[in-house]
Amino acid sequence: MILDGIFGNKTASRVLLHLFHYNEIHSAAIAKDYGVASTPIRMQLERFEKTGIIVAKNVGRTRVFSFNQKSPFVKPIKAILEIFYHSLTMEEKEKIFSTRRRPREKGKPVYGRT
């Protein structure tokens, strides 16, 4: 993936791409989507947090991460991510972002159930 070369490694590009797609995310969710251990994901998130690119908040016992809107680096990083994100096909997006993270819209039927 071209993002690996831009951001230095596969874990970094996966973390940033997931943050771009979901706006907020925790390490276990990224690890689950890629089928990898959560420790390297968590360590990458912590590195980005130390540099000020992302911020974290506690939601119960889970640390949830998002882009730090006060960082001057976030806008150019998001611009790179946006170019790559929009180059993906719908099938690629469905494969990468397979887990639904938002609640179902009120009144929306659950397909496949009777």
pLDDT band at 96 (very low <50, low <70, confident <90, very high): confident
Residue 65 CA to residue 58 CA, distance in Å, equals 9
Residue that is written with structure tokens 């009777």 in the block: 114
pTM over the 0.85 mark: no
The residue type of 60 is G
Residue 12 CA to residue 77 CA, distance in Å, equals 12
31 CB contacts (<8 Å, ≥6 apart)? 37, 38, 41
Question: In this predicted model, what pLDDT tens digit does every residue of 8-32 receive, in sequence order?
Answer: 899 999 999 999 999 999 999 999 8
Question: In this predicted model, what pLDDT tens digit does every residue of 56-75 receive, in sequence order?
Answer: 999 999 999 999 999 999 99
